[in-house]
Structure 1
Amino acid sequence: MSRKLAIAIFLFLVSCVSLPTNAHPLKICEFERIYQLGDSISDTGNLIREYPIGANTAFAKLPYGENFFNNATGRCSNGFLMIDYIAMAAGLPLLQPYKNTTANFEHGANFAVAGSTALSTPVLANKKILNPVTNSSLDIQLDWMTSHFDSVCVDHRDCVEKLHKSLFMVGEIGGNDYNYAIFQGKSMDDLRSMVPDIVNVIVEAVKKVISYGATRVVVPGNFPIGCLPIYQTAFQTNVSAAYDKNQCLKQLNDFATYHNEQLQKAIHKLQQETPNAMIIYGDYYNAYQFLLNFARFYGFDTERACCGIGGKYNFDLRRMCGAAGVEVCSDPHRYMSWDGVHLTQEGYKIMSAWLIHNIFHKLHCHF
């Protein structure tokens, strides 16, 4: 990447993720509401409202949220998430978590729960996979969504009219199904066998939101998980062939690519079946790869967690961010990874700018 091109991209990113103005492209869509389903990539405070586990999670206290007005909101970062930047870009307030019973949901709602899975807890249990964090899988979130729409819509026609100018984010979801499987000893063949079920559950969720009247749906794929400190630490090796040019684990990234390819095929098929809705793949994989290249060019720390302890990647699964004695770096805006699993606010800002640029023309915003 040339310096001139990098500067141009940087200026584009700044313009995309600054506070919204009338000139921002997403405002052309005139979205009135945004709805989010997913996991910790997009949870703005649901898990911490789940008793008793959520209230005691590290996400419920500082240093999580230290750059969010020094307030731990349940976001798994030091500040804003991608969904926050997307809401800003659309000129809408930040999404409130559905579990906040005093929140104003006039402009949408966030049903995402940190630690959640695409497959339900019983289905995972049948595969001998335990979710140690939450039972609020995608089907539960869809039930919440149904209850919410039943409370705000007079009838189906009313919902269709209200949701015509809404943006739905169905995911990222499914990443935790694989995370739990990997760390509970499942093989790569086991993981690949899970992909059809996970993709099918995501597709069924998209069908459900469309049935309520959604016309613009973004379905994000998985990150290149072989680039995350949690995996780089767990599977660190001296075998150079195990790593790609970005020093990410090839096998894990190949698996993430396989999941994303199957998801894109399913989205394409569903788009043909439902031509009245725009169903768009959210390319988190390449957004992250862009972030990686961008960060390296500008001298960000692309390997170590900002909040962590120990080893090459500043990460220890037994002493994670929020635990006693685990320190936070002095300059998180120069780091990509916040806690070895989730990104910093700066990382999410750059990824969201790339994503907005990538999906904008696909949204066909001509109301």
Structure 2
Amino acid sequence: MASSKSSPPGFVFSILIIISFFNFVTCNNQHILSSCNFDAIYQLGDSIADTGNDVQDNPSSKFARLPYGETFKKATGRCSDGLLMIDYIALSAGIPFLDPYLNKDGLFDYGLNFAFAGATAMSAEDLAKWNVSFVPTSISLSRQLDWMFSYFNTTCRGNKDCFKKNGKALFMVGEIGGNDYNYAFWQGKTIEEVKTMVPEVVETIKQATKRVIGYGATRLVVPGNFPIGCFPVYLTKYQTNDSTAYDELHCLKELNNFSIYHNYLLQQAIAELKEEHPDETVVYGDYYNAFLWLLSKADLLGLLRNWGRLQLWLIKLVRRSKSTGMRKP
């Protein structure tokens, strides 16, 4: 039975355009990394990439309960209501989601995730030398590398076999280092004080990357820091009535300049790694500008999200109409 009211042709056309555009955004580029032929992904990092190590280590963790994971109606161990960047990278590469290393029942055929929520680049002992004592976890980048070494030591038959297995894998070395600065800032240190830590944090990341290359990695991404001056926690902590302290996106300039400094030194370190290891591909992951792009396009992206919801609603409507025998006039 047809509806007594017909929709205006322009409205129907607009809906079709919306659906087509949303399909282009979400589907056509779904496996854009498949041409790279990654056969595995290995992730080091902190809460930005942790898919459950923190929860495996501490079942009472707040990340083990809602609202974390509410998109899936259950907590997944991710510090998110849904998927993480590494999940989308895996999807784009045509690889299953990475199980956390500490999940002994996990599937590790396509790589695994060593990232741990709250992790730092430097060890707690090294941070203590900078008078940074508020470090809620003992898991640092070095500890994650030990996990990686232990895993490869039990799955590879010698270095030659390891190099062969890891030659087609993607290694994500971070994002890491952000918590080193977070803990220092939250402890009350000034931007200038925390800035003195940056060279050592970057050197720690560089040495970790060299160690990963030593495991046979040939394709690595080393992400930089985010524009922390745009983060709500910092906007709240350092809020001021001085309008000149903010940029056009209402981010704190001085804190963003701090992130730029870290990223500058990190890119220098990556350039040095490329010279030392010309046969390996080491790429800087520009999370800073990616974040700013997302922030500047927030209204448009929110619209796309609503288009996606509209698409799902229309699909359900069509299916319901078929099941109830609705026909064209």
- Structure 1-normalised TM-score? 0.75
- 8 Å contact kept, 1:17–1:85: no
CA gap of 1:26–1:197, structure 2 versus 1, over 3 A, is same
Which residue in the other structure is 2:55 paired with? 48
Could you tell me which residue of structure 1 aligns to residue 210 of structure 2? 207
Counterpart position of 1:107: 110
One-letter code of the match for 1:62?
A: L
Given residue 61 of structure 1, which amino acid in structure 2 is its aligned partner?
R
Q: State how far apart, in whole Å, the 2-side matches of 1:234 and 1:10 are.
A: 38
For residue 97 of structure 1, what is the aligned residue in structure 2? 100
Task: Give the 5 Å matches for 1:1-367.
Answer: 13-15=25-27, 18=30, 24-50=31-57, 54-67=58-71, 69-298=72-301
Distance 1:110 1:72 in 2: 17
- Following superposition, the deviation at residue 299 of structure 1 comes to 5.2
The verdict on how the C-alpha distance between 1:17 and 1:49 changes in structure 2, with shifts beyond 3 A counting, is farther
Contact 1:34 1:109 in 2 (8 A): yes
User: Post-superposition shift, 1:56?
Assistant: 2.4
Gapped runs of 5+ residues in structure 1?
Answer: 1-6, 19-23, 301-332, 335-367
Contact 2:174-2:223 at 8 Å conserved across structures: yes
Q: Deviations over 1:15-62 (max 9, x none)?
A: 4664xxxxx331111111100000000000001122xxx322211111
Deviation at 1:233, TM superposition (A): 1.1
Cα separation, 2, equivalents of 1:294 and 1:16: 21
CA distance in 2, matches of 1:37, 1:16: 29
Amino acid in the other structure paired with 1:48: V
Q: Distance in 2 between matches of 1:30 and 1:159?
A: 18
Compared with structure 1, are the counterparts of its residues 16 and 175 closer, same or farther at alpha carbon in structure 2 (3 Å cutoff)?
farther
2:225 partner SS: coil
Q: For 2:244 and 2:22, locate their aligned partners in 1 and report how far apart those are by CA, in whole Å.
A: 33
Shift of 1:258: 0.5
Dislocated runs of 4+, deviation >2 Å: 7-18, 54-57, 130-133, 296-300
Larger radius of gyration: 2
Higher helix share: 2
2:49 partner amino acid: S
Hey, what's the Cα distance between the residues in 2 that align with 1:12 and 1:193? Answer: 45
How large is the RMSD of aligned CA atoms in angstroms?
1.9
Kept in 2, the 8 Å contact 1:121–1:131? The answer is no
Q: Tell me which amino acid in the other structure corresponds to 2:119.
A: S
Spell out, residue by residue over 1:304-336, the C-alpha distance to the aligned partner (whole angstroms, 9 max, x if none): xxxxxxxxxxxxxxxxxxxxxxxxxxxxx68xx
Q: Deviations over 1:138-165 (max 9, x none)?
A: 0000000000000100100000000011
Q: Distance in 1 between matches of 2:171 and 2:21?
A: 27
Q: Secondary structure at the match of 1:36?
A: strand
- Give the AA of the match of 2:26: V
Distance in 2, Cα, partners of 1:111 & 1:212:
15
Gap regions ≥5 residues in structure 2 = 1-17, 307-329
State the TM-score, normalized to the length of structure 2. 0.84
What is the number of equivalent residue pairs in this alignment?
288
Opposite residue 274 of structure 1, the aligned amino acid is H
- Deviations 1:200-257 (Å, cap 9, x if unpaired)? 1101111011111101000000010111111111111111011000000111100001
Distance in structure 2 (CA, Å) of the matches to 1:218 and 1:17: 20
Tell me, in whole angstroms, the C-alpha distance in 1 between the residues paired with 2:73 and 2:261. 39
Q: Percent identity?
A: 54
Aligned to 2:15: none
